[in-house]
A and B are shown apart, each in its own frame.
Chain A
Amino acid sequence: MSITRTAPNNAAGNSGHITDLALVSAFKEAAQAVLPIMLGIVPFGLAYAIVGRSAGLSAGELLLMSATVFAGASQMIAVSILNEGVTAAGVLMVATLLVNLRHILMGATLAPRVAGFGLTRQAVIAFFMIDESFALTISRAETKGFSFRYYLAVGLLFYCGWFAVTAIGIVLGGLIDDPFALPIDFVMPATFMVLVVPFLKTRTGRIAAVVAAVAAVIGAVYFDGHWYIAIAGVAAAVSGALIETYTEKPTDAR
């Protein structure tokens, strides 16, 4: 595969319609989609910075972690483990790997959409892969197609937002009692409700969603961390594939 400057045809022939937006409209569309979710991320960024400071990490170290790791859950785990001293570095590496394993599932899901892109673009797409950018992009791809520029805009906005919220948390940390006091944590589920709608058009999609809902709740109750997301993803994938294999006539591959 070669790196081309024009919008490449999808070599895998999977998503079929790759639209590439003008950069300005990509950022406009991305900003509208990112804003409410970013609002929901704010308390997590503040909590990370506040806990990090009380764990004895410097402002520079906290910002460096936001800039290089860019993954809320593992950063939160990191500051609580580092609280006990750097002797726990090995534990931290294993925890980082485990909590981020769900990226592999997201990567495999995005892979057919990005198969036509060159190495550089795939490397960039990987860097900005978080739950939220995956959710926005894959939902847009379902209705309007995959756009590299839209993905890049979404990723950059989340990246800059996350860095800024970290900085704000470091500066204002002492003034904030409980970042989760307002019902801001309702914003994210409300947003993702809208994003999931296009996937519920087919009967198989709806059944997969119900299976995933049960799996996610079980996962959230019985497993620490973000395992419920991967568990629900796998549950939906397996149930959807089984239903398609055994009950449905082959439909147009999407």
Chain B
Amino acid sequence: MRAELVLIILAMGLITYATRVGAFAVLRVTGMPGWLRRTVKYVPVGVLTALVVPSLLVRDGAVDLSLENHYLLAGLITAVVAWKTRNVALTVAVGLAAVLTLTALL
């Protein structure tokens, strides 16, 4: 390992950790203001939605609503299973089956 690169990597680690611990550190000192508590309440639903929707709708940097986009149609099927069963294994299995089937058929 080159010393210069090790230093760069460790600095990256420190910067990344600072972003992870920053909010805890500041809020330990200041306490959690009420307005912030109310505001962050809906962050989880936003983050989780962001981890779902763009990966189904956005292909190669553009919104793709066509039938060519197998992930969109498979995503709709998968969403129904997720909603009804709340079972991760079943949802993933149905989702993968839907993608593979659509890819084979269309």
Contact = CB atoms under 8 A, between A and B. Distances in A.
A contact residues, range: 35 or more
Sorted from nearest, which 7 A-B pairs have the closest CB atoms? A236-B46, A240-B42, A107-B23, A68-B13, A232-B50, A220-B54, A126-B21
A207 B47 CA distance: 14
Given A183-B100, A192-B51, A205 B45 contact: yes
B contact residues, range: 35 or more
A239 interface: yes
Interface of B: 1-2, 4-6, 8-13, 15-17, 19-24, 27-28, 32, 36-58, 61-63, 71, 74-75, 78-79, 82-83, 86-89, 91-92, 95-96, 99-100, 103
Given A114-B24, A217-B63, A36 B46 contact: no
A71 B82 contact: no
A229 interface: yes
Main secondary structure of the interface of A (DSSP, over half): helix
Interface string A52-84: 000001101100110011110010001000100
B2 A96 contact: no
Contact of A12 (B2, B22, B32, B83): B32
